[in-house]
Amino acid sequence: MSNRHLKEKGIESLLFASGIVAVLALFLLCIFLFRDGLLLFEAYPISSFLTETKWFPTSDPAHFGLLPLLLGSLIVTAGAIIFSVPLGIAAAIYISELAGPRTAGILKPVTEILAGIPSVVYGFFGLVILVPVIQRTLDLPTGQTALTGSIMLGIMALPTIISISEDAISSVPRAIKEGSLALGSTKWQTIYKVTIPAALSGISAAVMLGVGRAIGETMTVMMVTGNSAVIPGFPSGLFAPVKTMTATIALEMGEVPQGSEHFHALFAIGSVLFITTFIINIIANHIKRRYRFNL
């Protein structure tokens, strides 16, 4: 057996072992998370956990209602999507199709650097700068609202959406664009009728990754959303404090007795987050396959 063949076998074995380790780690994480989360329902009904409107873990009796936390997470994430997706895709189109080489060469690295800024820095910026602006502009009792959290999460999701969308748009074959222009289409018609549909698989993946970062973010929302466990209205809930699932875990996990109902309730929230993220990934894969096969 030649040295080259031995090297190839060694690389294959290493990649296989890496895949097994990743799957095993995920499996053990699921066991750890769901085991402690399911223990809550030995003494607390799952129907109450899913439908109660109160999260009062220290009251007597305790109330572990997921609904206000779930709706708080959803309204903040929905606001972030509305803010970041159109802006991110528009920026990606500009960098890929309209900006000159020098401008694009500056904007793309700057965008990727923004993705590396720690979330606590974004949270500090939102708390010191954006919260007072929101409070004064909208004449609110407090600027720590769902709207503030949505704007900050949207800003945090923008680098991911812009970078991946720009890569997807740039990877569209040049021949497709030139064929459209040769048939008499304008540059704008080529962009939104040819280039964007051809890159839709990558753009949808970028959007889903941005959504995943928004729904799983902890530090920023904990600093700027007010952390009030109430059911938000719509659209009035955007201008009121809310509490998200991730912020609840971060705020309360360090203070609960291990093995208590409250402890298991926080693991149950983590299980819901895990399932939510898993569903988002399934939807993203479905969208990618659908548009890939339709092109």
Are residues 7 and 90 both part of a single domain? no
Q: How many structural domains compose the chain?
A: 2
Residue 74's alpha-carbon distances to 164, 228, 266, in angstroms, are: 24, 15, 18
Are residues 61 and 30 both part of a single domain? no
Are residues 159 and 250 both part of a single domain? yes
Q: How far apart are the first and last CA of the chain?
A: 44
Residue 91's alpha-carbon distances to 59, 64, 145, 165, 207, in angstroms, are: 49, 42, 27, 9, 13
Are residues 31 and 156 both part of a single domain? no
CATH number of the domain to which 273 belongs: 1.10.3720.10
Are residues 210 and 190 both part of a single domain? yes
Are residues 25 and 53 both part of a single domain? no
Are residues 170 and 88 both part of a single domain? yes
What token pair was written down for 275? Answer: 């399932």
Are residues 24 and 103 both part of a single domain? no
Q: pLDDT (tens digit, 0 to 9) for every residue of the chain, 295 residues total? A: 567 777 778 888 888 888 899 889 888 888 888 888 888 888 888 888 888 888 888 887 888 888 999 988 889 988 898 999 999 999 999 998 888 888 888 888 888 888 888 888 999 999 999 999 999 998 888 889 999 999 999 998 898 899 888 888 888 888 888 888 888 888 888 888 888 888 888 888 888 888 877 888 888 888 899 888 888 877 778 888 999 999 999 888 888 888 888 999 999 999 998 888 888 778 777 776 765 544 4
**The domain containing residue 7 runs over which residues?**
3-42
What token pair was written down for 232? Answer: 């938000």
What token pair was written down for 267? Answer: 């693991």
SS3 199: coil
Question: Whole-model pTM?
Answer: 0.84
Are residues 219 and 283 both part of a single domain? yes
Angstrom distance (rounded) from CA 95 to CA 72: 34
